[in-house]
Every structure is written in C-alpha cells, then in structure tokens.
Structure 1
Amino acid sequence: MTASQVRMSGCPDCGGRVTEDPKRGEFACTACGTIVQERLLDHGPEWTAHDANEYETKARVGPPITETLHDRGLSTVIDWRNKDAHGNALSARKRRQMHRLRTWNIRSQTSDSQKQYRKQGLAEIDRMAAALGLPTDVRETASVTFRRAHDHGIVTGRSIESVAAASLHIGAAMAGLFRTLDEIETVARVNRTRIARAKRAINAEFDLPIEPGRPVAYLDRFGSQLELDADALRMSRRILETAPDEYLGSGASPVAIAAAALYLADDLTGGRSVSQRAVSETCGVCIATIQTHHPRLRDGYRLAHSS
C-alpha cells in the first residue's frame, strides 16, 4: 500500500487517523498508538546535497512518483527544446521527427476515454487546490480518493468536476484543513449541490474515517480574513471551550458556531471592528444564524466565568 492509501484506510483497531513517522519508519494511529505499518523503505537518495548546484550534479533520476498525475509521473517526457545532449541545435529533419514523437507520446498517454477522464479529473483537483492554497499532501489524498471513485464506478452518471471537487473536500478534511462547500464551490465549475451529492456517494462507498469539523478548526482562518487581533482570537477559543459539548455536537453547523464565536469575541474584547454582515459574508452564513448562536455562546461564557 502507498502512503496515501495507508492514511485513507485509517486505524484497523479504532478507525483513527494514521500519520507517518519518517524517523521511525512506521505509520501509527494518533488516537490509540497502534503501529499500522513498520519497516518502511526510504525511497530518498543515498546522497546529501547542500546547495542547488550540488543537487543538480548528484541527481540521477526524475521527480518522485506522485498520485496527482494520471500516470503517476512514470511516463516518458520528451523535452520541448530542440537540442541534443551536448546542447547543440537539431537539424530541421530531426526537429520534425521530434515533433512527431512528442505528438504520439502525448496521445499514447491518454489512449482511451478512461485515461482521459482520470487525467482531466486530477488536473481539476490540482487547479482547485492551487486556488485554495492547499498543500501537496491534500492534493495527494484527494487524487487517491478520485482514483478510487473512478475505479469503483462512482463517477458514472456524474460530472468530472463534481467528483473532483468532492474528492478535494474530503482530502482537505482528512488532513484537518477543513474547507466549507461554499469555499469549494467558489473554485469549482459546479454548484455545491452536485458536490455534496458526489461527496455522499464517495463516503457511502468507502466509509472514509472523516470526522465533522470542529468550530475551533475555522477560527484562525476566518479570524485572519476578518483581521481580528490576537486577543480576539484567544477569546474566541475560550468561548468555545466554555460551550457545552452537547451544544457543539447538536447538529448545528460548525462554521456557524465559529462565526458567532468570532463576533462575540470581538465584542467582549472591546474591538467592535467587525459587523455581523462582515462575519456573515466572510464565513458564508446568514446573519440570522449568527444571531441565533450568539446569545447561547454569550450565556455559556458568562455562566462559566461567574462561578
């Protein structure tokens, strides 16, 4: 199994999240500590480079295998520069020959519709992840999810864009970098309804170990967008800490609770720098929802600090 597949499968004992420890060469569960896989091979080079020139000199192979490419980066790549190994320009006859070889090389990589579908879907994931600023490991996980959905026929009857967007949403959640469907919709080429349907189909098929996002996971990102100071962010965390667990897990949207906590924190710290409308537009929740959660969080915070 690849590293992405081990992470997606989860812990066999408790179903918790699995992370890699490269120093020990093993995959372990963060919840119960079970060693899922050990004695991993080090696929890195046996040499060490201290600068770019030394790296260029010692490197003997191409880029590593990646799930973000339809061929995992293993196909042949013909350089677009019409020069030989010594840097000399090719003759006109050789240039025409290399042009034909490049054309057939590209065609051979996507020789059937299934490969073309996968290539387009993975390119869509890479585009959306770049627009949202998501890291490489999220793209890898999303690509593995898309590949599995494609292999199991989940993509049948659905658009490439909806399955790719749903895979990216799942990949971000598995990495703890939660993104709302509204944020995914802003960079996707389909609406959130189709993304949500594709996500439900993927979850139903694979039963992925994805926990719903906690409100605290959204505080830093939305607080930064609202330009709240450090005192307000610390206050928002204290507000959520005093909120009852049964209220946070009552089925209410974690984004809505986070939005109400940020607005209340700004009010309690005396900032008053953001309005309900600004919080509503930034977090993607309506003002009425913020007004619903605001008094509950305020009363819980006052009750916790009055005793």
Structure 2
Amino acid sequence: MSVQENKKTRKTTCPDCGGKIVADPKHGERSCVDCGMVVSEGSIDHGPEWRSYSFAEDQERSRTGPPRDRTGSDTMLSTSISWRDVDARGNLIEARKRRRMHRLRRMQSQSSDSTEQYQKQATAEIERMGAALGLPTDVRETATDIFRLSQTNGVLRGRSVEALTSASLHIAASNVGLPRSLGEIELVSRIDRNSIARAKRAINTKLGLAVEPGAPEEYVERFGSELDVDHRTVFTANRIIESASDEYIGSGANPVAIAAGAIYTADRMTGGNCVTQQEVSDATDVCIMTIRKHKSELLSHYEC
C-alpha cells in the first residue's frame, strides 16, 4: 500500500478499531461510529455566525466580506492613479500604456465630484485626529455621520473641511461621554480654536443637536492622570465638585476650568504632588487667573 493510501486510510478509519469516522459539524468533532473514539476536535465552522428560520430571512442576512465601515473607507473609490508613468518596479512604461493611463486619470477625475472628495478628505482627517486623541471607533463613525449630515444641509458652504471635521469630532466625543476640550482638539487639528467653535455653533444651529458641554467630573480623571496626582487628589476633587451648587456648575462656566480649579484645590488640601498652577494650566489649557477664580469659588461652596 502506498503512502497516499495510508494517509487516506488514517483519515477515514478509526486508529483504534478500524471503524468508520464521521464528522459532527455541530460539535466540531470527528469520531468513530463503532467505538465512539473522538479522533479530532475543534474544527473550524465555516458557516455564518447567525441563524435563520426562513428562506427570506436567510437571503436578508447573507453577506460576503467584513461588515461595512461607516467611516466610508470601504464605501467610496479609494484607488488613486499616480501621475508618474512608471510601473511597480520604477521602470518607464511604454507609450501605448502611457496613453491608456492618461485616459484613466481623466476618467477618474471626471467621475469623482466635489462631495465625494470632501468626504474622503474628512474621513482621513477624522481618523487621524481620533487616533491622536485616543477616541474609539464608534466616536469616529459618529463624527463622520455628523460631517455628512452637515454637508448635506449646507453647513460646509463657506467653511473649511478641517473646521467642520474638528467640530464634528468634538460633538461626537461629547455625545458618547468621552468629551475632549477645544484645546485638545486644536492640538491635533490644522485649524485654530475659534474656527472650530464657530463651526460647532453652525452645526448646532443648523442640525439642532442637543450637545451637552460635559460635566467637570468627566475631565478630572484624565487631567489627574496627566498631572500624575494620586487617587486621593482625584477623589477629593470630585467631592469638591459635587459639593458645589447646581447654579454654579450650570452657570455656563467652562467645565474644563472647573475641573482644573478642583484638581489644584484638592492637591493643596491633600498635600499630594504639590502641582503648581502653571502645571495645571499647561495640562488643561486654562489660564492661571481662571484657575484661581474657580479655586476660590469651589472652596466657598466646599466649606459650606
């Protein structure tokens, strides 16, 4: 008997009793029908990860490839024909192929309108800034949806793509409970804070989004980690903010500034790392005079 025949015999017969081996796809096993010996287990299930109870439901759920990405990376034409007339190895292509590539470039430029180009640019900007800020995928997808909705409603007219993408990311992060200050957005953006704030107001006015400014407690943990303060300081800062009156918290004051004042006050009260006002100002992008102002206001409420 040849080697190939031996391999075939070992695959179809039981090594213990010589019985027939059958596959059980439900349990991912191959076992002998005579003695019950399990020859192999843990086989890969190549079927879908869902169940269907009718033919119509099976057709609705059937799909190929990975799930669609709402950021648009798999919904738009992303291939770009280079202007260089060279092949993959860097060699100059022949004249007939150069003429063909020229026609393809012209067709591609004519087929893509400004709307698609803006969306591709915005998707790349949101992905770049979201990665720099450590924001998860769902925040980036929400920001992409906000940008497309704003573009459809004419908010982009008269504004730059960078301003609208930065504002969309700022709104999306606040909506999912992972707020980022305008100063943090400005650090990773290619545009100044005032332009981002104006674009944010335009989006809120046009779309009517209920965007909350964010609670000061949401910034304490993150800024405390950047300043390397201990857990007692973070806990005390949250208690100081909780003791403040609702009128003061909801008076329109910047929640980032309130968090900065609470961290500095708590660090002084607990005798922690003794961070300076300048260090808190650099970490939170809040001026020193504002930190002093909120420190006095928070202490007055905390002592009461």
Query: Is the TM-score greater than 0.5?
Result: yes
The answer to whether 1:66 aligns with 2:69 is yes
- 1:190-233 Cα distance to aligned partner (Å, 9 max, x none): 11111111111110011112112111110011000000111111
- Superposed counterparts of 1:266-285, under 5 Å: 266-285=267-286
The answer to whether 1:208 aligns with 2:224 is no
| Letter aligned with residue 187 of structure 1 | V
Deviation at 1:107, TM superposition (A): 3.2
In structure 1, the residue matched to 2:223 is: 222
In structure 1, the residue matched to 2:128 is: 127
TM-score by length of 2: 0.69
Deviation at 1:273, TM superposition (A): 2.4
In structure 2, the residue matched to 1:161 is: 162
- 1:139-163 Cα distance to aligned partner (Å, 9 max, x none): 0100000000111111011111111
| Letter aligned with residue 238 of structure 1 | R
Deviation at 1:109, TM superposition (A): 10
- The ranges of structure 1 where at least 4 consecutive aligned residues each deviate by more than 3 angstroms after the TM superposition are 74-78, 106-110
In structure 1, the residue matched to 2:179 is: 178
State whether residues 75 and 109 of structure 1, in contact with CA within 8 Å, keep that contact through their aligned partners in structure 2: no
The higher relative CO (CA closer than 8 Å, separation ≥ 6) is in 1
TM-score by length of 1: 0.68
In structure 2, the residue matched to 1:57 is: none
Relative to 1, partners in 2 of residues 1:75 and 1:257: Cα closer, same or farther, differing over 3 Å?
closer
State whether residues 63 and 73 of structure 1, in contact with CA within 8 Å, keep that contact through their aligned partners in structure 2: no
Relative to 1, partners in 2 of residues 1:180 and 1:110: Cα closer, same or farther, differing over 3 Å?
farther
| Letter aligned with residue 295 of structure 2 | H
- 1:272-300 Cα distance to aligned partner (Å, 9 max, x none): 42011100111111111111111221222
CA distance in 1, matches of 2:300, 2:205: 38
Deviation at 1:77, TM superposition (A): 8.0
- Structure 1 gap segments, 5+ residues each: 1-43, 49-59, 79-91
The answer to whether 1:244 aligns with 2:240 is no
In structure 2, the residue matched to 1:198 is: 199
Relative to 1, partners in 2 of residues 1:74 and 1:190: Cα closer, same or farther, differing over 3 Å?
closer
- Largest Rg, 1 or 2: 2
- 1:226-259 Cα distance to aligned partner (Å, 9 max, x none): 0011111111111111111111111211111100
What secondary structure does 1:73 align onto?
coil
Relative to 1, partners in 2 of residues 1:284 and 1:245: Cα closer, same or farther, differing over 3 Å?
same
CA distance in 1, matches of 2:179, 2:239: 21
| Letter aligned with residue 68 of structure 1 | T
CA distance in 1, matches of 2:288, 2:122: 36
Tell me the C-alpha RMSD between the 2 structures. 2.9
Deviation at 1:75, TM superposition (A): 5.5
State whether residues 122 and 146 of structure 1, in contact with CA within 8 Å, keep that contact through their aligned partners in structure 2: no
State whether residues 229 and 273 of structure 2, in contact with CA within 8 Å, keep that contact through their aligned partners in structure 1: no
Deviation at 1:74, TM superposition (A): 3.8
- Structure 2 gap segments, 5+ residues each: 1-46, 52-62, 80-92
Q: Name the count of aligned residue pairs.
A: 231
CA distance in 1, matches of 2:249, 2:270: 23
How much identity, in percent, do the aligned residues show?
A: 51
The answer to whether 1:149 aligns with 2:127 is no
In structure 2, the residue matched to 1:27 is: none
In structure 2, the residue matched to 1:36 is: none
State whether residues 167 and 196 of structure 2, in contact with CA within 8 Å, keep that contact through their aligned partners in structure 1: yes
In structure 2, the residue matched to 1:15 is: none
CA distance in 2, matches of 1:139, 1:257: 27
CA distance in 2, matches of 1:142, 1:108: 27
Relative to 1, partners in 2 of residues 1:225 and 1:77: Cα closer, same or farther, differing over 3 Å?
closer
- Superposed counterparts of 1:69-108, under 5 Å: 69=72, 73-74=74-75, 107=108
In structure 2, the residue matched to 1:85 is: none
| Letter aligned with residue 220 of structure 1 | E
Relative to 1, partners in 2 of residues 1:76 and 1:249: Cα closer, same or farther, differing over 3 Å?
closer
- Superposed counterparts of 1:281-300, under 5 Å: 281-300=282-301
In structure 2, the residue matched to 1:254 is: 255
State whether residues 217 and 238 of structure 2, in contact with CA within 8 Å, keep that contact through their aligned partners in structure 1: yes
Deviation at 1:302, TM superposition (A): 2.1
CA distance in 1, matches of 2:70, 2:151: 14
